[in-house]
Amino acid sequence: QVPLLESGGGLVQAGGSLTLSCAASRNIFSIISMEWYRQAPGKQREMVASLPGDGRKIYADSVKGRFTISADVAKRTVTLQMNMLKPEDTSVYFCSVRNGLNRYWGQGTQVTVSS
C-alpha cells in the first residue's frame, strides 16, 4: 500500500533506548540503499544512518557509537536501534530507500527524549 511504513517512535527519558523499524512495500524492487533521516523544527533534514549497499554502515557524527542501523533482506525491513538517547535527538525520523529509479520516503515517526 504505502511505500514505507515506520514504527517504534515514542517518548523516552534521556539515557534510554528506542528502536525504529521500517517495512518496504514489495512494489519497491531491487533496493540499493536504505537510510534513516531526521528533521527537527527549524532545522534541515539530516541523514543519521545509512546502508549504502556496499557493506558499509555510515553514521552522522552526532549519533556514532549510540545508533545502529541494520536490515533484514528477507523481511524487507530496516531498523534503527537508538541507545543513550539525548534530548537533542528529539525529532521526526524518516525511513528512506533507493533503487535504480527512485527514492522513497516514509511518513515519519516522532521521537521525543525528555531530560
Q: How many CA atoms lie within 13 A of 99 on its CB side?
A: 12
The pLDDT value given to residue 42: 94
Interstrand relation of 10-13 and 109-114 (parallel, antiparallel or unpaired): parallel
* Mean pLDDT within 98-113: 96
* Mean pLDDT within 61-89: 96
Assess whether pLDDT exceeds 80 at residue 1.
no
* Contact indicator for 85, 17 with CB cutoff of 8 Å: yes
Place of cell 540499493: 32
The pLDDT value given to residue 61: 98
The whole-angstrom separation of Cα 74 and Cα 91 is: 29
